[in-house]
Amino acid sequence: MKMKLLVVEDEAQIAAFLEKGLTAHGYDVEWASTGAEGLRLGMAPDVALVILDLRLPDLDGLEVLAGLRERGAVVPVLIVSAWGEVDDRVRGLDLGADDYLPKPFAFEELLARVRARLRPGPAGAGVLRVGGIYLDVLTHVVNVGRAHGKPVGP
C-alpha cells in the first residue's frame, strides 16, 4: 500500500511538479490548492505527511498548521516555503511543523526529508496509550495489550 502525501500548494505548476516526482517515487499524492482545503484534507487518517506552502490564497499556511495541531492532528508537516529567513523557519517549527525546507530546493533533498519524516522510530515512538489500548500514529494500527504487536510488560 502506498503512503499518502498531501501537498498544500496554490501554484499549480509547483504542485504538478511535486505530484509527478513524488508519485514516481511510489507515493500516493493528493493536492489541495487552498488553506481551507488543506486543513480539511490534512485531518484525514490516511494522510501520512503534509507538504505545506505558507503563501496560500485564503489562509496563511501557518494558520493551516495551527488549525491541524489545534484539532489534534499528529500528521508530520513539512513546510516548503519561499519564506526562508531564520525567524520564519523558527516560527514554523515552534507552531508544530516537523521540518522546514526553504524554496528553491533540490527535489532530492525534499525526498530525503520526506523519507526521514516517514521513517519508523524506535519501538514505542509515535505510540499513544490509553489504558491497555495502543495507537501507532504513523501506521494507524490499534492494538489491545500490545504496542507494535509485541506484548507490553507486566
Mean pLDDT split into 10-residue runs, the chain, 154 residues = 93 96 97 97 95 93 93 93 78 87 93 91 62 68 58 42
Q: What is the rounded distance in angstroms from the CA atom of residue 131 to the CA atom of residue 142?
A: 13
Three-state secondary structure call for residue 106: coil
Give pLDDT, residue 127. Answer: 67
- CATH number of the domain bearing residue 68: 3.40.50.2300
Residues 38 and 112 reside in one and the same domain: yes
CB 66 within 8 A of CB 78: no
pTM of the model: 0.77
Residues 36 and 82 reside in one and the same domain: yes
The domain of 39 spans 4-119
Report the domain count for the chain. 2
Residues 66 and 91 reside in one and the same domain: yes
CB 145 within 8 A of CB 152: yes
Residues 56 and 102 reside in one and the same domain: yes
Residues 38 and 68 reside in one and the same domain: yes
